[in-house]
Structure 1
Amino acid sequence: MSYAHLDAYSRRLRAAHETATADAPIPAGPRRLIRDSWRRSLDAGIDPDAPGAPSGADPVQVRDAFETHPLRPLLPIITRTLRAVADEGEHIMILTDREGRILWRDGHAATLRHADEVGLAGGHLWAEEAAGTNGIGTSLALRRPVHVYSEEHLMRVLHVWSCSAAPITDPESGRLLGCVDISGTAPSLHPATVALVTATAKLAETQLALRMHERDERLRRRYEALRARPAILLSATGRVIAGDPGGSLGTRIQLPAFGEHMILPDGRVAMLEPFSDGYLLRATGTPAPAALALTFLGDGPPTAIVGGRKVLLSLRHAEILAILALHPRGLTAEQLSFYLYGDDGNPVTIRAEMHRLRTQLDVPIGAKPYHLACPVEADFLDLRRLLTGGDPATLARAYPGPLLARSESPEIRRERDELEVLVRTSLLQRGAPEDLWTYAQTINGREDFQLLERLTSSLPQADPRAAAARARLRAP
């Protein structure tokens, strides 16, 4: 983009920024990527006049976190790739974790001093929900390389900065590890810099993949040195490395959160045992116990399905099952009592409730600690998984309402409130009007002022849903 085009774009951005930060609908001046990011940032409560990014850790914590971070061994490669461009352009290089926290930085001395003034320094948080639209946070939010130019930042103090950032993904787990970024004062940072940080991120991922394959090969050699092939060889995260020639397990399996047993796709129980840096999975031939399916979200009564039989549950039994599902590694009677009743709980009461629950459901509940000793499916657990990467439409359909809305259990209330906040925030940030309308039919969504205002501004005025939203806003 030429300087003339940049000047024209800057003028449009300034006008759009003034409109957007005055609680008016965001105009069409910025790129779609930036408009969407501004909306997410404003919905997260970011103050456009904030002095910079907040600090999330002290220097000692940052240093310790970086020393054990998976990207730490790759720092020499990252530095060699970016150093020349950073030095020539008087820019700085930045490496963050998956939360957008700066773990390391280096570069031009004067630029580093300016960076200190806005929090482009170790320990400061640059996720969108902490610092608004910026290269690091928006790249992590979208899981793609991003260039953010000057006035495209939501916070005005960043309008003298431009940044190019790219996320780095762990080939072992598929999870985000962090972000690599080059930042400088505008207009010195050319948008083409995003190609360099993208190449750097891909180089880092390639190195991680090579190291992963080296670990796999060491594991495979130890596995093959055993006299008898001991079933299936897994990595530490559940990737299938050897022992499944037919591919019946796929490339990865979900490791059990509690104990050493798991259920294979063919219904057999398998035993998981540590092996070097991974696991061995041995099929036992034992049939799997009946799965337990829980439906606890929304207005309906809590129900369980076990062995094809549907059971209506009392609120207390539903609370116990929900808490055990949320804590698959198990709880002592004292812990379960505290989660149910708070400080007024009594472990003796818990033991009596557990006896009645086992009798009613005929489902295996292990003791010492208490845990569900069978496969568990639950609508609220499915919702948790969708929150880590599901599309907004699926998320909206999966949330008919709060978790056990009548429960006063401290642990259920904590989980219920957290799910509500996460679903609402995700839909406000990423949802289409249809998704917001679906959420507006839930107990809390029916009177959500911000949600209803969004619907009135995003839906056509003649749309019946927009009329319904306006009527709810006018209701006393």
Structure 2
Amino acid sequence: MSPTHPLLEEHPAMRPLVRESWQRSLEALSTPDGLTPPLVWESRELIEFRRQHPLAAIMPVINKLLIEPSHDTGLLIAVGDEHGRLLWVEGDSAARRHGENINFATGADWSESVAGTSAPGTALVLGKSVQIVGQEHFNPAVHSWSCTAVPMHDPDSGLDPGHRRHHRRCGCRGRQYALPRAGHRRGRRGATAHPPPGAPHG
């Protein structure tokens, strides 16, 4: 049995799911010190990538059901691709500014191997919904945040075109994640006849 990393010894009560994620993060990143999720696209590249991405077809549904009600709530709604890269980050304007301080912003890579334990990256690794609260985050800069992520699978193929996330300072409303599924099916069927609708302005 390999020795326990000193950082894990400091958190003996850590949930097994989080502990296993921290172990993977330590293997990939060695230390959480100075960790900043990188931006992987320039603005023009991101706009074009979003326009062609399958999730663009359901963004009007996500906007109506999740983003518009999130204004003035302290809640952020983020939509990323299957690699953990954030394509859209919308919601409360003050929360968006706070998110930019930790690079929780459009174009940033929040995969677990790059950003450490967080709901976005860890949910993709496990293939299921995950909530990471406060100091469960690998990156100390994110300790004031609570985050829930849900991978979204194509209803016909079962493949994972991306995921939807709530990210805010206290609590989450995970029950709302199921709402855009019908819109995703409708959008996918219509995609062959019509270009994907434009995404909300970020």
Please point out which of 167, 176, 186 is paired with 1:196.
176
Q: Report what 1:148 is aligned to.
A: 132
Please point out which of 24, 48, 68 is paired with 1:64.
48
Percent identity over the alignment is: 28
Q: Does 2:105 align with 1:121?
A: yes
The answer to whether the 8 Å contact 2:58/2:187 transfers is no
SS in structure 1 at match of 2:29 = coil
Describe how 1:73-84 pairs up with structure 2 within 5 A. Answer: 73-83=57-67
Q: Which moves more between the two structures, 136-145 or 78-87?
A: 78-87
Q: TM-score scaled to structure 2, two decimals?
A: 0.83
SS in structure 1 at match of 2:6 = coil
Q: 1:335-370 CA distances to partner (integer Å, 9 max, x unpaired)?
A: xxxxxxxxxxxxxxxxxxxxxxxxxxxxxxxxxxxx
Matching residue's letter, 2:99 = A
How many pairs are equivalent?
190
SS in structure 1 at match of 2:84 = coil
Higher relative contact order (CA 8 A, sep 6+): 2
Q: Report what 2:185 is aligned to.
A: 209
Please point out which of 150, 155, 162 is paired with 1:166.
150
Describe how 1:29-68 pairs up with structure 2 within 5 A. Answer: 29-45=13-29, 47-68=31-52
User: How far is the alpha carbon of 1:21 from its aligned partner?
Assistant: 6.4
Q: Report what 2:76 is aligned to.
A: 92
Q: TM-score scaled to structure 1, two decimals?
A: 0.37
Calculate the aligned-residue CA RMSD, in Å. Answer: 2.5
Q: Report what 1:456 is aligned to.
A: none
Quick one: distance in 2 between partners of 1:183 and 1:212?
26
User: How far is the alpha carbon of 1:214 from its aligned partner?
Assistant: 7.0
Matching residue's letter, 2:49 = A
The answer to whether the 8 Å contact 1:46/1:132 transfers is no
Q: Report what 2:197 is aligned to.
A: none
Quick one: distance in 1 between partners of 2:50 and 2:190?
23
User: How far is the alpha carbon of 1:194 from its aligned partner?
Assistant: 2.2
Q: Which runs of 5+ in 2 are unaligned?
A: 194-202
Quick one: distance in 2 between partners of 1:68 and 1:214?
14
User: How far is the alpha carbon of 1:208 from its aligned partner?
Assistant: 3.1
Please point out which of 109, 122, 138 is paired with 2:122.
138
SS in structure 1 at match of 2:150 = strand
Quick one: distance in 1 between partners of 2:103 and 2:30?
15
Q: 1:202-250 CA distances to partner (integer Å, 9 max, x unpaired)?
A: x33x33334556789x9xxxxxxxxxxxxxxxxxxxxxxxxxxxxxxxx
Q: Report what 1:261 is aligned to.
A: none
Instruction: Report the structure number with the largest CA radius of gyration.
Output: 1
